[in-house]
Structure 1
Amino acid sequence: MNASAPGGTPATATYDRIGIGYRHVRRPDPRLAALIHQALAGVRTVVNVGAGTGSYEPAGAEVTAVDPSRVMLEQHPGRRKVLAGAEELPFEDGAFDAAMAVMTVHHWPGLHRGLGELRRVSRRQVVFTWDPGHLPGLWLVEEYLPEIRQLEHARFTPLSTVVEALGAHTVVPFAIPHDFTDGFQIAYWRRPESYLDPVIRQASSTFAQLPPSVVEPAIARLRADLASGAWRRRHADLLDQESVDYGYRLLIAGDGESGAS
């Protein structure tokens, strides 16, 4: 791995702790991949900031992966890897056709600075993130783990702020399919039994940051509600839905054609 950290190694990242085995749970979903690849159409060089294991990178493009976690970069299959934070990208102005950032901006200590760096080093920017003000929320948070809401609202900046800081000209909603393969927290909204699996929970940064004294009693209540049928009685409406808009958005800025937002 050709991983470097100009200016010094960043502070230990959350994903140094939770990243082991991450690829087995967080498998790219083809529908989200198609949306991101459409936004990146025509680019030859891409920097993937907060790259993790390389999900959603466009085939055929020359991709440079940037991540502050060595554990995550070691799982990335590419050859161009740089250990760095988003706030100090070690590249020249306009070095890439595009910059991409997928479910990562909420982890950046300096959001505005990081988004500014995306704009500095690339001509097009594609960011997939979540709107913390969107309703409805996930039942798991509302009914079992309200502590997750506190974490999320502390980490996620309002979508309007991200749109403005990025200078996004296009905002595309992405409803989460019931069989979404990328196992971040929202993925199992119609598959509640999945949240009982500690391996699945470990791949979600919010779960991983909560103490067992909070998570385990909540999961025990969910297990009991599934066994009694109480969960299905409360959420019968969800069982017939193919997808739900939980506030996930793809933002596009820079040289792409503007579209409806």
Structure 2
Amino acid sequence: MIDHPRYDSIGHGYAIRRREDPRYRERILAALGDARTVVNVGAGAGSYEPRDRYVLAVEPSDVMAAQRAKELAPAIRASAGRLPFRDGSLDAAMSILSLHHWDDEREAGVRELRRVATGPVVIVTFDPEVSRAMWLVTDYLPELADMDRRIFPSLEQLSKWLGGTTHVDVLPIPRDTSDWMLGALWAHPERVLDAAARNATSGFARMPPDVVARVVTAVERDLENGTWDARHGHLRKLDAYDAGLRLLVNTPA
């Protein structure tokens, strides 16, 4: 039984600001190869799901599932740790910025992805050792680095759980990305002041209100007095930045 999925609380309005980026979509579809049947675990509102293949979406949150586009298949209510599919019953499995919400099912869920797929397992995640270097974390929200170390398995750990062969690619985050994940704030400090934009990122949504208020006050002050631009203004000239986003593709032994 699934008990009060996290995104029933923090997922409202997610699909509006977390729209899929076509550049990431292209990379993810390429990683799936010629797979015709795919399970998407932690499917959410359906971003990055293939439209030209048979997809089984697994999503425990009613709030997130309700935001799925009409052309997408309804999501099965299940959790990552016990997927309701037979061994090797699907060509591929995918999880896009989801596994850090699997809590004590992270290892079991990753192993489940490998169990049910005969072909590639495709995971988009963050490397917390890279993401911690972003200005938001170093200057304003060190609590995020501590949380990310707890909730994001290392790439090495993921590889061990999956077995087989794992390849990892860097996914730089473009300035103009339509997917307003927390890492996309690298180029848009003003979005920290926008409650709707903040709440579309689980990093902010999972923080205590007093911590969020402290960060908003500090960023607003530093934008107004020029401190942010004095420290990080060079970022405004970049088209993309490595905030730790990674594409992991695993193939079985």
TM-score, scaled to structure 2: 0.93
Q: Does 1:13 align with 2:9?
A: no
Contact 2:132 2:145 in 1 (8 A): no
Task: Give the equivalent residue in structure 1 for 2:226.
Answer: 229
Q: Which has the higher helix share?
A: 2
Amino acid corresponding to residue 199 of structure 1 in structure 2: A
RMSD between aligned residues = 1.6
Worse-matched range after superposition: 129-138 or 214-223: 129-138
Q: CA deviation at 1:59?
A: 2.1
User: What is the identity percentage for the equivalent residue pairs of Structure 1 and Structure 2?
Assistant: 42
Does 1:110 pair with 2:110?
A: no
Q: Tell me which residue corresponds to 1:250.
A: 247
| Aligned pairs, number | 248
Q: Describe the SS at the equivalent of 1:75.
A: coil
Structure 1 position 127, deviation (Å): 0.6
Supply the AA of the counterpart residue of 1:19: G
Give the match for residue 59 of structure 1: 51
1:127 to 123, 126, 140: 123
Matched, 1:31 2:23: yes
**Aligned runs of 1:1-261 on 2, under 5 Å?**
8=1, 10-77=2-69, 78-108=72-102, 109-123=104-118, 124-134=120-130, 137-167=133-163, 168-254=165-251
Unaligned stretches of 5+ residues in structure 2: none
Relative to structure 1, the CA distance from residue 172 to residue 133 in structure 2 (aligned partners, 3 Å threshold; closer, same or farther) is same
1:88 partner amino acid: R
Distance across 2 between alignment mates of 1:185 and 1:218: 14
Deviation at 1:255, TM superposition (A): 5.8
- Output one character per residue of 1:75-120: Cα deviation in whole Å (capped at 9) or x when no partner: 1232242101100000111121110000111111222211111111
8 Å contact kept, 1:65–1:81: yes
Where in structure 1 do 4 or more consecutive aligned residues deviate above 6 Å?
none
Unaligned runs of 5+ in 1: 1-7, 257-261
CA distance in 2, matches of 1:80, 1:185: 27
Conserved? CA contact 1:40–1:58, under 8 Å: no
SS at structure 2 position matched to 1:101 = strand
Q: Deviations over 1:136-172 (max 9, x none)?
A: 6210111111111222112112221112212342111
1:224 Cα offset (Å): 1.2
Gap change, CA 1:47 and 1:56, over 3 Å in 2: same
TM-score by length of 1: 0.90
Equivalent in the alignment of 1:4: none
Q: Secondary structure at the match of 1:169?
A: strand
